[in-house]
């Protein structure tokens, strides 16, 4: 399948779990499609990029190790994503990477996620935290930043400042996640 054919196929992806999973499995079964999928995802002004992001998130949720050969490209471009329907899945992937890297379970991510990759994820997550966007990317970013703060000692104090500053002006969903993260931050001192 060519990049153009994949692009056309993405027209059939919608919010349904069934469609996203169908196309995620197509990519898992054909790993040569990962790079074209990412190319489409990072065509950030094209609405189809959001559908590519949904598929890529589902692929990473199923088989996170498939991202490893593409970590440089992924982390180099995540800060460019600006359409909100694409931000949520990209932020979720950042959370998945942080969870795999700092988790107790064995993961190939631990030996492939570099300092530079982590710094790029931190930068993107903080951008999502401070910008006026929907709560989902912020929620995934909070978690990723909390985990990355295990290694980067400046991250947790900055995260705490943002959460406390924005707490009263944000949605109930933001407050719920922020309360959870603030509780974890107070325990980790």
Element at 83 (helix H, strand E): none
pLDDT at 173 over 80: yes
Query: Over the stretch 20-57, which tens digit does the pLDDT of each residue have?
Result: 999 999 999 999 999 999 999 999 999 999 999 999 99
Other C-beta atoms closer than 10 Å to the C-beta of 47 total 11
**What tokens does 112 get?**
């492939």
Query: Over the stretch 121-169, which tens digit does the pLDDT of each residue have?
Result: 999 999 999 998 888 999 999 999 999 999 999 999 999 999 998 888 8
First to last CA, the chain: 51
pLDDT at 88 over 80: yes
Q: What is the pLDDT of residue 188?
A: 75
pLDDT at 189 over 70: no
Q: What is the pLDDT of residue 166?
A: 86
pLDDT at 108 over 80: yes
Q: What is the pLDDT of residue 146?
A: 96
Q: What is the pLDDT of residue 156?
A: 94
**What tokens does 188 get?**
């980790």
Distance CA 37, CA 140 (A): 22
Distance CA 120, CA 50 (A): 20
């Amino acid at each position: 399948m060519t990049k153009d054919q994949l692009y056309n196929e993405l027209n059939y992806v919608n919010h349904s779990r069934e469609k996203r999973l169908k196309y995620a499995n197509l990519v898992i079964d054909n790993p040569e499609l990962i790079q074209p999928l990412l190319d489409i995802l990072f065509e950030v002004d094209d609405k189809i990029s959001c559908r590519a992001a949904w598929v890529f998130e589902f692929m990473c949720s199923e088989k996170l190790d498939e991202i490893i050969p593409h970590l440089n490209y992924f982390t180099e471009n995540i800060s460019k994503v600006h359409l909100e329907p694409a931000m949520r899945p990209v932020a979720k992937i950042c959370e998945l990477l942080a969870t795999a890297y700092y988790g107790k379970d064995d993961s190939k991510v631990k030996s492939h996620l570099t300092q530079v990759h982590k710094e790029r994820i931190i930068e993107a997550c903080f951008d999502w935290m401070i910008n006026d966007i929907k709560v989902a990317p912020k929620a995934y970013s909070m978690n990723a930043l909390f985990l990355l703060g295990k290694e980067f000692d400046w991250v947790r104090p900055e995260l705490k400042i943002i959460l406390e500053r924005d707490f009263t002006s944000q949605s109930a969903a933001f407050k719920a996640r922020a309360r959870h993260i603030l509780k974890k931050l107070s325990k980790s001192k």
